[in-house]
Amino acid sequence: MDDLRYKPSTTVAAIIERDGLFLLVEEETPEGLRLNNPAGHLDPGESLVQACAREALEETAFAFTPRALVGIYLARVQLPDSPSRPGGSDISYLRFAFCGDLGALDAQRTLDTGIVRTLWVTPSQARASAARHRSPLVLQCIEDYLAGQRYPLDLLHTHAGVYAKQQRD
């Protein structure tokens, strides 16, 4: 019965705004070049906040310190058949989006595999490019940020057991 349990993929996203512009990444996907917030999957042994800071650095080469939770989002994405995904796929994502402080750029850092470039866009440009977004959550997170949606990080709790090494029998 466990094979039938619904297991959305847990992701984090950094909603980074500077001087009215939002930092997005352009990335290679099986559907072509797509725009996304700096985002990625939660890795074993890290908190959601740590995952967001790590993903932002890996995808943009900017240090990022999450300061507030913008929102928690659940979305289902049905992707078409492709050479890398025969039969297509039906994936649900549980996204935790954070805003915070943008730190220094590490100009020597290589961007994560698949990231073509970073770009700063206005809210209008983000809206106009919605057809190129990796998911509908890209724009939703920006709109929620613009609406002033913020929740304290102490809303989230990471149990110490998350950081413990996995023991195998």
Fold of 2-153: Nucleoside Triphosphate Pyrophosphohydrolase (3.90.79)
Q: What residues does each domain of the chain span?
A: 2-153
Its sign, for the CA torsion 33, 90, 44, 161, is positive
Q: Beta strand 115-121 with 151-152: parallel, antiparallel or unpaired?
A: unpaired
By 3-state DSSP, what share of the chain in percent is helix, strand and coil, each rounded to 5? 25, 45, 35
pLDDT digits (tens, 9 = 90+) for 87-96: 667 889 999 9
pLDDT of 86 reads 67
Q: What angle do CA 35, 106, 113 make, to 5 degrees?
A: 45
78 against 8, higher pLDDT: 8
The pTM for the full model equals 0.89
Work out the number of other CB atoms within 10 angstroms of the CB of residue 88.
12
Percentage of the chain beyond pLDDT 90 is 80
